[in-house]
Amino acid sequence: MERSHVEWQLLPSELLLIWHTHRIPILLSAVSILAIARLTLYLRGRREKISASPIPSSPVEKAVIELKPEWLPENTTLTPSVLNVDNHAEESTIAKLPILKAKRVPKTVKGRKLSPKAPKRASSFDHTTDQVQPLLFFSSLSGTTERFAGELHKQISTWIEEGSSSSLLPPQLLDLSYIEHDDYFVSPPKPTPETAGNVKYFYLILLPTYNIDTVLSNFLENLQETHNDFRIDTAPLSSLLGYSVFGFGDKEGWPTEEEGFCSQAKEVDKWMARLTGRKRAYPVGMGDVKGDAKHRLHEWRNGVQEALVEICEGRGLGVGVPGSGDPAESDEEDVAEDSEGEASGSTKKIKSKKSGRVDDLEDLGSMINSDPAETPIAIDFTTYSKSTKPQPQAPKEMVPVSSPTHAALTKQGYSIIGSHSGVKICRWTKSALRGRGSCYKYSFYGIASHLCMEATPSLSCSNKCVFCWRHGTNPVGTTWRWITDAPDTIFDGITEAHYKKIKMMKGVPGVRAERFAEAMRIRHCALSLVGEPIFYPHINELLSIMHKNRISTFLVCNAQHPAQLASLVPVTQLYVSIDASNKDSLRKIDRPLHRDFWERFCACLDILKARRFEQRTVFRLTLVKGFNMADEVRGYADLVERALPGFVEVKGVTYCGTSAAGSAGLTMQNVPFYEEVQAFVTALEAELKSRGLDYGLAAEHAHSCCVLLADRKRFQRNGKWVTRIDFERFFDLWEGGVQGTRVEKVKGEDGVEVEKVVGWRPEDYLGDDTPEWALWGNGGFDPRDVRVKRKGKAAKAEARALEAVEAQDAQEAESGCG
């Protein structure tokens, strides 16, 4: 006992001795233990994060996100609806007289019905005295076309007998082998004493295809000779009221148009365009005799009948198809008839009204600066203290008809609806109508571009992004301080304007009759275009009208309006533009008007995360070399980790070449090559993987320089990507016809928490597997569409003209709509 007491007394000095002799190894061991403990905690945290990505075992938790008072929307005015006409044109290819349709959309605001504008009269047809004589030509070697022509003749005769219009005479059926070519195709038939010059002709031409010498080859040669004969006017058939051609072919032997399917009908259509001075009343139709011929012919007949009705009503060939045109046209007619035509027309009108006001877009920029009274001014209205709060002003029109902004947007091909909404058909819609491929949204999600409308209910935006091609022409602002149009007025207006623009395409060469017919029923709406759609105070009502009409909604927002984002009804697919990965970069690239732009941006990401099980959520990254690409992969990964979107779309910016872009410091050097975009997404995927986030490279559309990353746990089925959407199912879920599977915990009457179905999840409307050709590594071009590689003079002319006309559209399609 005594000894142990002594030992205790010696212990401190022994410990001190040990410390002095072994302090280095002791210190090293302590540091290592601490490091191991830290690492263990970090990895455990990581595992917990990973479990946030897959479909949660129900119920879904509700996150609470703080919304600052200054983020809440302002009071708004609502002007009553004045347009009360259903413009939904689903059946519009089936001609009826009078053209009055039952209203299908329940209107939220009732109003006075406006009488439509006086239709444009056909120059050579007086519908009060003249009569239309349809002539149905056909050629047939083995009888198939003859049989179809006979049936068509009967159907049109019955339709006319049933009183479609008193101006229509019964059609005449004419076999090209038995008529005198010169009597019909060098000049139109001469008037007889009985008709006294009051009969005008409309040609319908049905043809088979033969890649051997037949009577058809002669017919084609004759048309060509007539056009080239210097003694004859190059457009000797320009007094015809219109024409349309339908071809029969055999897809078994000639599967695609490039391989010769219906090639002769297409040729005849082209020569007839030249001979008539572009009087194509309806696009050339094509039917496979061993497949869809009957169905296609039926569609084509409906379209032709509608054209006949329009002529009889004195409306000529409708918008976009000139009653007469440059008879010496070549393939350049491909581009001559475009929305640009209308746009420049309207600009001319403005020019004549206010002479010298609008010369071109460049001039407009300076005018905008020089005429502050008429121009929406980019003012920062974001305030934190009462003293700087702007005084309430009487609401004004966002884009008044008389403003330079209106002129500029119209010149760019936009139709302005009311005073703050816009619609424009994008170049992909035109491309798809001509069978030349849809945008990347078809490859990724199944949206066929000819069924898609691009629109916005707010032309105003709270950013001035450097890559925005309408910078300098669109209004900007941080608060909604404008007269507000009713949602149904906007819906009626945008759909009517869209259909009008589609109809303008009917005379354009290459437009497929079946796609044209399909396009008369809008299936999808890309709410992006220009401005900020969720800025519009009644966005939810507008979305509901769209869903009621079974139009899917892809809504893109700029992550600057958290309050509106939080209260948005679920859309088919919700996008947030992610233009930079950090605050500094975002300021430089988006040039936001809100001072608290970064807080708003982060709040929007949190909202997106909270709502990711209600709807498909997407990050849209637009890569601009020199601005937001280099060294930002980790930053983007941080944002993905924060919001956990279902998808990340990455695309390279497209250069729009405007002075606005130039002044923002953007040149062609800022446009990344596709290989650079590919390298970027590969690095992003790896970075996400290193953080345990299971995103994979799902699909690509090399043509648009666009790649899709998707959450593997949510959008793969049996190891295959399922990025496509079942749109019909989405509408069924929206209507409540089908129950969704999103459940939440709610308190029952007895106070006990129970699980309850509260809606649907993105997984409830998954579509088909992503097609093989769209998968990452396969390019993303639908093999059923035609790659247009033309040669020679026509190709050059077309390329030149397309470049000019589509530069604007391409920019819009690539970077606007996304």
Ligand X SMILES: Cc1cc2nc3c(=O)[nH]c(=O)nc-3n(C[C@H](O)[C@H](O)[C@H](O)COP(=O)(O)O)c2cc1C
Please report, as residue ranges, which positions from 264 to 303 form the binding site for ligand X (by CB under 6 A).
Answer: 289
Q: Does 530 bind ligand SF4 (CB under 6 A)?
A: no
Q: Which of 497, 532, 813, 815 binds ligand SF4 (CB under 6 A)?
A: 813
Task: Choose from ligand SF4, ligand X, none: what does 212 bind? Cβ within 5-8 Å by kind.
Answer: ligand X
User: Which token pair is 238?
Assistant: 């320009």
Stretch that binds ligand SF4, among 7-15, 373-381, 439-447, 751-759 (CB under 6 A): 439-447
**Contacts with ligand SF4, 50-89, as mask; x by CB under 6 A:** ----------------------------------------
Among 4, 128, 142, 393, binds ligand X (CB under 6 A): 142
Q: Could you write out the three-class secondary structure of 39-74?
A: HHHHHHHHHHHHCCCCCCCCCCCCCCCCCCHHHCCC
Interaction between residue 449 and ligand SF4 (CB under 6 A): yes
95 binds, among ligand X, ligand SF4, none (CB under 5 to 8 A by kind): none
Partner interacting with residue 449 (select from ligand X, ligand SF4, none; CB below 5-8 Å by kind): ligand SF4
Q: Which helix (H) or strand (E) holds 172?
A: strand 172-175
Whose Cβ is closer to ligand X: residue 137's or residue 442's? 137
DSSP class of residue 107? P
For 195, phi then psi, to 5°, come to -80, -20
209, interface contact from ligand X, ligand SF4, none, CB < 5-8 Å by kind:
ligand X
Identify what 145 binds: ligand X, ligand SF4, none; CB under 5 to 8 Å per kind.
ligand X
Out of ligand SF4, ligand X, none, which partner does residue 697 contact, by CB within 5 to 8 A per kind? none
- Residue 396's SS3 state is strand
Instruction: Give the chain's end-to-end CA distance (angstroms, integer).
Output: 87
Which residue, 454 or 606, has its beta carbon nearer to ligand SF4? 454
522 is a site residue for ligand SF4 (CB under 6 A): no
Helix 674-690, helix 633-643: angle, nearest 10: 60
Minimal distance, residue 683 CB to ligand SF4, in Å: 27
DSSP element (H, E) containing 805:
helix 792-811
The DSSP element (H or E) to which 810 belongs, if any, is helix 792-811
Q: Which is nearer to ligand SF4, 277 or 652 (CB)?
A: 652
Q: Judged by CB under 6 A, does residue 156 bind ligand SF4?
A: no
For residue 703, give the 3-state DSSP assignment: helix
Task: Residue 441: name its binding partner from ligand X, ligand SF4, none (Cβ under 5 to 8 Å by kind).
Answer: ligand SF4
Cross-strand partners of 699 = 708, 775
Please report whether residue 428 would count as binding ligand SF4 according to CB under 6 A: yes
Using CB under 6 A as the binding rule, whether residue 255 contacts ligand X is answered as no
Is position 250 an interface residue for ligand X (rule: CB under 6 A)?
Answer: yes
211 contact, one of ligand X, ligand SF4, none, CB 5-8 Å limit per kind: ligand X
* Nearest C-alpha neighbor of 136 from the set 164, 95, 169: 169
Binding-site size for ligand SF4 (CB under 6 A) equals: 12
Task: Return the exposure string of 730-752: e unless at least 16 CB atoms fall within 10 Å of the residue's CB, then b.
Answer: bbbbbeeeeebebbbeeeeeeee
Instruction: Assess contact for 578 and 585: CB atoms under 8 A.
Output: no
Asked if residue 169 binds ligand X (CB under 6 A), the reply is no
Q: CA angle at residue 296 from 334 to 148, to 5 degrees?
A: 115
Residues 6+ apart with CB under 8 A from 804: 335
Neighbours of 610 (CB within 10 A): 17
Q: Which is nearer to ligand SF4, 210 or 781 (CB)?
A: 781
Pick the piece of the chain touching ligand SF4 (CB under 6 A) from 208-216, 449-457, 472-480, 571-579. 449-457
Q: Which of 167, 410, 429, 549 binds ligand SF4 (CB under 6 A)?
A: 429
Does position 208 bind ligand X by CB under 6 A? yes
Q: Which one of residues 171, 249, 422, 645 is an interface residue with ligand X (CB under 6 A)?
A: 249
Q: How would you class 655 by CB atoms within 10 Å of its CB: exposed for 0-12, middle for 13-18, buried for 19 or more?
A: buried
Which stretch in 285-293, 426-434, 692-700, 755-763 sits in contact with ligand SF4 by CB under 6 A? 426-434
Residue 140 binds which entry of ligand X, ligand SF4, none, with Cβ cut-offs from 5 to 8 Å by kind?
ligand X
State which of residues 80, 143, 170, 665 lies at the interface with ligand X (CB under 6 A): 143
Q: Residue 369, Cβ neighbours under 10 Å: how many? A: 10
- The entry of ligand SF4, ligand X, none that residue 327 binds, CB within 5 to 8 Å by partner kind: none
Give 439 or 708: the residue with its C-beta nearer to ligand SF4.
439
Give bridge partners of residue 172 from the DSSP assignment. 135
Phi-psi region of 663 (alpha: psi -120 to 50; beta: other; left: phi over 0): alpha
User: According to the binding rule CB under 6 A, does residue 262 interact with ligand X?
Assistant: yes
DSSP states of 461-523: BS---TT-TTTTTS-B-SS--B--B-HHHHHHHHHHHHHHHHHTTTTSTT--HHHHHHHTS--
CA distance 187 to 238: 9
Q: Which residues bind ligand SF4 (CB under 6 A)?
A: 426, 428-429, 439, 441, 447, 449, 452, 454, 526, 813, 817
Q: Which residues bind ligand X (CB under 6 A)?
A: 140-146, 208-212, 248-250, 253-254, 260-263, 289
